[in-house]
Structure formats: structure tokens, C-alpha cells
């Protein structure tokens, strides 16, 4: 598990992004008239029929887990933490941290985020989960405890942050990424509210606090810079423009890689992956789960949107409730036992 694979490694399933729709992030509170509010509620209710609540469907979902191994995948922003104006203030609550820790004790658990892996780890402060930063381009396993010949336990954690780096398929692009980051920082200085974030293997340009009339200028600036680097492209998320290396790797590939690392092949039917996420980049993972024919892709959204998810949760508070129920279900279930090789021993959390 500790060996980094060659960048030539490709999963059998090559997911393609689900088509994106514009203006998908209209806020419920942004509707000013009663008729519009009624229309929105009606539209959301119709959408929930197609993407039922994972909370209300919990018992039915868990009936399908008999004889299967559950693996849990979680996005961070908008899933484990609320969406906030300042990305540095997307703090995970202690209650959410406790719930994720309990889930990770019961099932192999990974957090797959567009953020820099180290930053997500600093937010989450747990060492019994896998971390996949930069949209899955920087994957790290939890520290492992092994028993040596002297009968003592020793922690294996080669990374200076206390984990075991498994895979970094975009490592060769790091010098170019740093150049693009510095150029974007300089060129966006005059656009009020713009924020450029270095995510190590990708770059995020946040525009949540940019005035609507300035967005076109920001988008044009970002795209004009990236156009000079043929090995990079721009994608769009929730109030963010992402600059990424043009390689066949995304959150869906990261999900497959982690399943394979845990010993579950693409064709394995005895594993049931749960993936909870709220953004467009999570659609790649949803699509992979659906292509496998078994698993639960769950979208976090309070508005109707195009998605490949089967189930839904309204917001991070519902994610918290779902994770608590999942851990509680495991404690009550006498038929489920995580195989020893999948259990993460040692340090519970990082102080």
C-alpha cells in the first residue's frame, strides 16, 4: 500500500465530466417574491423525488449492505464544512470531526477535496482517514502501526505531515503551477474580492466576493493566462475557477485508486462505496460509482441541480446527521465486521 504508483497508472473506468449548467447556485433566500419562492419549493420537491433524501431512505439503503464492505468517501467544502466567503475560514465543527472520526473507526474513510491536501488535513485534524487533495492528485494514507521483531509497535508515516504518500500523478507540473500561481496573483490584484489559492497540484481562483460586473474581467484574465500553458485547462466550481493540469485524473479516478489500494478491484461486488459531495467535481466520482453498478452517490444541495447522484442531503447539518446514523448503525449491527487489514490503528486525531 505504501508504494507510489507510476503516473502511467490508469483505472479501467475512464469517467467523463457530467455536462455542467450555468447559474446553478441560486440561493433560496435570493428569491424576492412569493410566487418565485413557491416555484422554487415546488421544483425542489420534484427534484427530491428523483434524488430521495439519504436520511429518510437510510434504513432501505442499509438493507442492501448485507454481505458487503462499506467504504466512505467525503468532500470537504460544502459537505463537512459550510461554504463561506473566506476559504480560510471554512472550519469544520468539533461535532462533525467527532462524527467523521467515529465513521472512520468503523469503515475505511477518505476525504477527497480540491483543496491542498495539507490544508484539508489541518482543517480536519484526523489521522485515521485517507486524504486526497488537489481533486485527487495528491493521495495520502493514514499512518500505520506495525509490530517489529522486538514485539514493539512502530508507526510508519514517511510524510513529514504524519502520513504515507501514495500517489501524485501531477508531480511534474509543480514548477509550472507555481509560475501560473504567481502570475494570477499579480494580474488579479486590481479585481476587488478575487482570491487566488495555491492547492499545490491545482490553483483555485475564488470569486465569491467579486462584484458581478467584475466577473467577466476575472474570467478573461484567468483564461488568458492559462492559454499560454498548453498542458493546463480551466474548470468551474461553486464560485471558483480551477486551473488544473490536463491529465486524465479527477475525483473519480482517485476513488478508484483508493478502492484498488484497499484491495477492492473495479469489478468487485462485495464493496459498497458511499460518496458524499456537493460540487461539480464530485460528479466524476458519482459517475464512477454508477458505472460500477453498486454504491451510493449522495449530493449535498438545497436547490435542484443536474447530478449523477442517486440520493441527496440538504446541507452539512444533514451530512452530520447521516454520518452519526451510519456510525450508530455499525455499532448496532452484529453482522458487519471490518477486516483487520482495513482497520486504521494508532493516533486518533492530531492536536
DSSP state of 18: P
> What topology is assigned to 57-169+249-342 in CATH?
Rossmann fold (3.40.50)
pLDDT at 3: 37
Pairing verdict, β 138-141 and 130-133: antiparallel
Angle CA(236)–CA(122)–CA(25) in degrees, nearest 5? 25
pLDDT at 71: 97
DSSP state of 256: H
In order along its 351 residues, the chain shows pLDDT tens digits of 333 443 444 444 433 333 333 344 444 333 344 455 555 578 888 999 999 999 999 999 999 898 899 999 999 999 999 999 899 999 999 999 999 999 999 999 999 999 999 999 999 999 999 999 999 999 999 876 544 444 544 344 455 555 678 899 999 999 999 999 999 999 999 999 999 999 999 999 999 999 999 999 999 999 999 999 999 999 999 899 999 999 999 999 999 999 998 888 655 678 999 999 999 999 999 999 999 988 999 999 999 999 999 999 999 999 999 999 999 999 888 544 555 444 443 333 333
Nearest CA-CA partner of 101 in 314, 256, 327: 327
Structurally, at CATH architecture level, domain 172-245 sits in: 2-Layer Sandwich (3.30)
pLDDT at 39: 52
Q: How far apart are CA 66 and CA 310, in angstroms?
A: 19
Say if 57-169+249-342 and 172-245 have the same CATH topology. Answer: no
- DSSP character string of 212-263: GGGHHHHHHHHHHHHTT-TTEEEEEETTEEEEEESSS--HHHHHHHHHHHTT
What are the boundaries of each domain within the chain?
57-169+249-342, 172-245
Instruction: State pTM to two decimals.
Output: 0.79
Taking each continuous run of H as one helix and of E as one strand, the counts in the chain are 9, 14
Amino acid at each position: 500500500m505504501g508504494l507510489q504508483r507510476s503516473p502511467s497508472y490508469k483505472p479501467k473506468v475512464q469517467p467523463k465530466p457530467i455536462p455542467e449548467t450555468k447559474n446553478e447556485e441560486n440561493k433560496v433566500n435570493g428569491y424576492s417574491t412569493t410566487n418565485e419562492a413557491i416555484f422554487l419549493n415546488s421544483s425542489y420537491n420534484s427534484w427530491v423525488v428523483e434524488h430521495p433524501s439519504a436520511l429518510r431512505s437510510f434504513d432501505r439503503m442499509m438493507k442492501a449492505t448485507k454481505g458487503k464492505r462499506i467504504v466512505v468517501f467525503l468532500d470537504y467544502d460544502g459537505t463537512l464544512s459550510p461554504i463561506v466567503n473566506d476559504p480560510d475560514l471554512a472550519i469544520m465543527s468539533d461535532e462533525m470531526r467527532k462524527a467523521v472520526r467515529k465513521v472512520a473507526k468503523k469503515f475505511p474513510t477518505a476525504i477527497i477535496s480540491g483543496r491542498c491536501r495539507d490544508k484539508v488535513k489541518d482543517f480536519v485534524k484526523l489521522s485515521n482517514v485517507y486524504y486526497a487533495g488537489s481533486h485527487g492528485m495528491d493521495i495520502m494514507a493514514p499512518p500505520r502501526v506495525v509490530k517489529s521483531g522486538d514485539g514493539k509497535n512502530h508507526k510508519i508515516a514517511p510524510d513529514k505531515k504524519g502520513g504515507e504518500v501514495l500517489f501524485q500523478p501531477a508531480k511534474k507540473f509543480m514548477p509550472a503551477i507555481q509560475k501560473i500561481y504567481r502570475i494570477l496573483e499579480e494580474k488579479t490584484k486590481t479585481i476587488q474580492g478575487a482570491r487566488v489559492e495555491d492547492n499545490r497540484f491545482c490553483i483555485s481562483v475564488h470569486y465569491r466576493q467579486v462584484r458581478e460586473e467584475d466577473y467577466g474581467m476575472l474570467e478573461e484574465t484567468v483564461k488568458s493566462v492559462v492559454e499560454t500553458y498548453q498542458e493546463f485547462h480551466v474548470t468551474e466550481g461553486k464560485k471558483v475557477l480551477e486551473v488544473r493540469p490536463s491529465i486524465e485524473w479527477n475525483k473519480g479516478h482517485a476513488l478508484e485508486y483508493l478502492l484498488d489500494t484497499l484491495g477492492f478491484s473495479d469489478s468487485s461486488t462485495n464493496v459498497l462505496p458511499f460518496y458524499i459531495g456537493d460540487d461539480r467535481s464530485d460528479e466524476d466520482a458519482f459517475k464512477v460509482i454508477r458505472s460500477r453498478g453498486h454504491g451510493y452517490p449522495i449530493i449535498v444541495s438545497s436547490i435542484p441541480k443536474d447530478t449523477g447522484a442517486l440520493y441527496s442531503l440538504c446541507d452539512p447539518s444533514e451530512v452530520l446527521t447521516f454520518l452519526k446514523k451510519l456510525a450508530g448503525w455499525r455499532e448496532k449491527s452484529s453482522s458487519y465486521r471490518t477486516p483487520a487489514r482495513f482497520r486504521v490503528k494508532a493516533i486518533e486525531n492530531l492536536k
